[in-house]
Structure 1
Amino acid sequence: MTIPSLTPTLLYLNNVTVSFDGFRALNALSLAIDQAEMRAIIGPNGAGKTTMMDVITGKTRPTDGEALFEGHHDLTRLDEASIATLGIGRKFQTPTVFEMHTVEDNILLALKADRRPFRALFSRRTAQEKERMDALLERIRLKDHRRRKASELSHGQKQWLEIGMLLAQEPKLLLVDEPAAGMTDQETADTADLLREIAQTRSVVVVEHDMVFVRDLDVKVTCLHEGSVLAEGTLDQVSSDERVIEVYLGR
């Protein structure tokens, strides 16, 4: 199946099923993410949230169904490197940064260009790289920390740095796993602001358990349960759904 090119849909999961020894981690999951849309994905443990991201990034091959990107790239037929090249970036819950390098060098290593470590760290930086660097550091709230080693940053700042490293690769779709986990209240609020800013120019899928944070994002919410979409809509609509209350939010 191919989505018409005029559609604003960037990612379309079409009846995606993933089975592990008879257990269906995803069960005919269908989901559409538009261009420059941020979507929050919620659901109980085992709902299929991580497996869904694994399929999108090529880590897991589905048993059945399609994962279409930009209407014609079937992600289920591509490897992880090819999918990353298409413009899909993923941030895991635990930040992965180069601890002994500075904030600035972490971004330099990620910039979409010739990223061989020797060239990235020791060659003369172009005016364009400097401009992109400054803009990225400003966006991720780390402009005043550019000379600090990543190891010296707070947990929340490391999360922002990794988001900046992904943005440096110019993704069209950013998958973010529980970004608010372990953050202070102020960092959580700043992260919501950051993700809203990012979603003005690219698509963002946020998997999150913190309902206060999801409310701060103020975006469409999809609740997964047993590998399928259980409910979709605003947070108020989803959280008032009797099925969602039963399986996830509790009475």
Structure 2
Amino acid sequence: MSGALLEVDGISVSFDGFKAINNLSFNIDSGELRAIIGPNGAGKTTFMDIITGKTRPDSGKVIWGEENVSLIKKSESDIANMGIGRKFQKPTVFEDQTTRDNLTMALKNKRKPWAVLFYHSNADDRAKVDDIADEIGLSDHLDRRAGDLSHGQKQWLEIGMLLAQEPRLLLVDEPAAGMTVDERNHTVTLLRRAAETRAVVVVEHDMEFIRNLDCKVTVLHEGSVLAEGSLDHVTQNQDVIDVYLGR
């Protein structure tokens, strides 16, 4: 695996005869920040569905970690417990609970029924919540009801809830959608900081956001990798211009 944290090798999947993913291969290393771009229908969401166990590929391999564990037959919960966290485009938080409660509930603790039922916050957990709140920029909003946060703040809270689970790989779907310029800039900082201690894959359409991430870019088209490299490199690729940027 050449040190890769995640190796996707030759995966394909079809839905009613339509090949959503076509012999796609992709590697990401620990501590790497990667952006994925491509036109609608390129296979970006299906690609993440396969990694997280929501969709089973018809062929190919998905190999995880230093132990080279196959994820193909693992359940979504097993994959999450192995250290792969996913954030969908629309933020999903417990709106009637405070920011602090949301982060506390997401902490990587024992999930057995009795442990959950009789859970009491302790100093270590409170310190972890404070650290995460500081990292995502919500330290001043810990006691606010999550439903009262702005759209961007809810996005950060959900990212924080994923960080609380201590993932080794974070998959983030269109985090800049619906954000103000200041919120997008803060999100760039947040994701770059997160990638210092884990791998982060960001699916996004906002080219300025991608440029500010300043990372390697993978372009998908018709379920395959069309181009890969720096943003300047892929945006000068004529095939990328024809199928994506030219639109």
DSSP 3-state at the match of 1:181: coil
Residue identity in the other structure for 2:73: R
Match of 1:16?
A: 11
The TM-score, its normalising length taken from structure 1, stands at: 0.94
Residue identity in the other structure for 1:249: L
- Is 2:179 the counterpart of 1:183? yes
Match of 1:75?
A: 71
Change (3 A) 1:117 1:219: farther
Residues of 1 paired with 2:24 and 2:172: CA distance? 19
- Is 2:167 the counterpart of 1:168? no
User: Structure 2: where are the runs of 5+ without partners?
Assistant: none
Change (3 A) 1:122 1:143: farther
Residues of 1 paired with 2:133 and 2:112: CA distance? 21
- Is 2:25 the counterpart of 1:25? no
Residue identity in the other structure for 1:60: T
The TM-score, its normalising length taken from structure 2, stands at: 0.96
Moved more, 7-16 or 99-108: 7-16
- The 8 Å contact of residues 109 and 117 in structure 1, kept in 2 or not, is answered as no
Residues of 2 paired with 1:188 and 1:205: CA distance? 16
User: What do residues 212-232 of structure 1 show as CA deviations (whole Å, max 9, x unaligned)?
Assistant: 000010000000000000000
- TM-aligned CA deviation for residue 21 of structure 1: 1.7
User: Structure 1: where are the runs of 5+ without partners?
Assistant: none
Pairing of 1:210-229 with structure 2 (within 5 A) = 210-229=206-225
Give the superposed CA RMSD. Answer: 1.6
Match of 1:45?
A: 40
Match of 1:55 among 21, 36, 50: 50
User: What do residues 85-129 of structure 1 show as CA deviations (whole Å, max 9, x unaligned)?
Assistant: 100000000000000000000001100003579976984322211
DSSP 3-state at the match of 1:188: helix
DSSP 3-state at the match of 1:180: coil
Residues of 1 paired with 2:115 and 2:134: CA distance? 24
- TM-aligned CA deviation for residue 8 of structure 1: 2.6
Residues of 2 paired with 1:138 and 1:122: CA distance? 28
Residues of 1 paired with 2:143 and 2:135: CA distance? 16
- The 8 Å contact of residues 10 and 33 in structure 1, kept in 2 or not, is answered as yes
Change (3 A) 1:196 1:169: same
Match of 2:139?
A: 143
Match of 2:243?
A: 247
Residue identity in the other structure for 2:144: R
Residues of 2 paired with 1:74 and 1:46: CA distance? 26
Change (3 A) 1:102 1:67: same
User: What do residues 181-203 of structure 1 show as CA deviations (whole Å, max 9, x unaligned)?
Assistant: 00000000000000000000000
DSSP 3-state at the match of 2:12: strand
- TM-aligned CA deviation for residue 80 of structure 1: 0.5
DSSP 3-state at the match of 1:76: coil
